[in-house]
Amino acid sequence: MLAMHPECVEKLMWGKKVVGLRVSLEAAAPALVKDLVKKSWQAKAPKTLLRELEGKAK
């Protein structure tokens, strides 16, 4: 994401460690923001909930 959208996405650092991405909502396309929020939620959501939701989507 960072390389594809350098105009609106940057690394979020904690010391020397990358801990996330900072997104400029003014510069980012709504579709990009939606995709990033979805991917972030999927990375943190309980796996059982993800499997349940994926089953309903099919």
Q: Per-residue pLDDT tens for 1-54?
A: 778 999 999 999 999 999 999 999 999 999 999 999 999 999 999 999 999 988
Q: Which amino acid, 51?
A: R
Question: For residue 41, what pLDDT is reported?
Answer: 93
| CB-count burial class (<10 Å; 0-12, 13-18, 19+) for 21 | middle
pTM: 0.74
DSSP label of 7: T
Cβ burial 27-45 (10 Å sphere, 16+ → b, else e): ebeeebeeebeeeeeeeee
Confidence of residue 57 (pLDDT cuts 50, 70, 90): confident
